[in-house]
Amino acid sequence: MLSPGSKSPDFNVQACVSIEKGKEFKKVSNKDYAGKWIVFYTYPKDFTFVCPTEIVEFDKKLKDFGDRGAVLLGGSMDNEFSHLAWRNDHADLKKLNHPLLHVTPAMADAFGLMQPQEQVALRATFIIDPNGVVRYASANDLSVGRNVDEVVRVLDGLQTDELCPCNWKKGEETLTAKIKKAG
As a whole number, mean pLDDT of residues 173-181 equals 76
**Where in the chain are the domains?**
12-145
Average pLDDT over residues 5-26: 98
The correct CATH number of 12-145 out of 2.60.120.10, 1.10.287.110, 3.40.30.10, 3.40.50.300 is: 3.40.30.10
User: Taking residues 94-103, what's their average pLDDT?
Assistant: 97
Q: What is the mean pLDDT of residues 169-174?
A: 93
Q: Given this model, what pLDDT does residue 78 score?
A: 97
The alpha carbon of 87 is separated from its chain's Cα centroid by a whole number of angstroms, namely 18
Per the prediction, the chain carries an average pLDDT of 95
Confidence bin at 178 (pLDDT 50/70/90): low
User: In the prediction, which pLDDT does 181 show?
Assistant: 66
Quick one: average pLDDT of 45-50? 96
User: Is residue 166 among the annotated active site residues?
Assistant: no
Q: Annotated catalytic residue: which of 16, 51, 164, 166?
A: 51
State the average pLDDT over residues 9-18.
Answer: 98
pLDDT at 57 over 80: yes
Average pLDDT over residues 12-33: 98
